[in-house]
Amino acid sequence: MAITIVFLGKLADHAGEPSREVPAPLDWAQLLASLEPDLAQAVTADTVRIAVNGTLLADKTALDAKDGAEIALLPPVSGG
């Protein structure tokens, strides 16, 4: 049973890949533990948002993903 983590923007650069699968279920602490230390630190920034199956979480520490879920890690958007 697995969950797909999708890394967007600069987070994909940190991860070295656009996505990866991790065992289900997954909460906030397990998500951080599944990431490299520098990537986990980047994800904890206030400006990084998390979406589960396309729905943004108001509080990312409330993450509770089940088998088959897709978690998108969204860095702040910039551009011009």
Q: Is the pTM of this model over 0.85?
A: yes
Hey, where are the domains in the chain?
Answer: 2-74
DSSP secondary structure letters along 29-80 = HHHHHHS-HHHHHHHTSTT-EEEETTEE-SSGGG-EE-TT-EEEEEPPP---
| Superfamily in which the 2-74 domain is placed by CATH | Beta-grasp domain (3.10.20.30)
**Number of Cβ atoms within 10 Å of the Cβ of 77:** 9
Report whether 15 contacts 34 (CB < 8 A): no
pLDDT over 80 at 13, yes or no: yes
Q: What confidence tier does 1 reach under pLDDT thresholds 50, 70, 90? A: confident
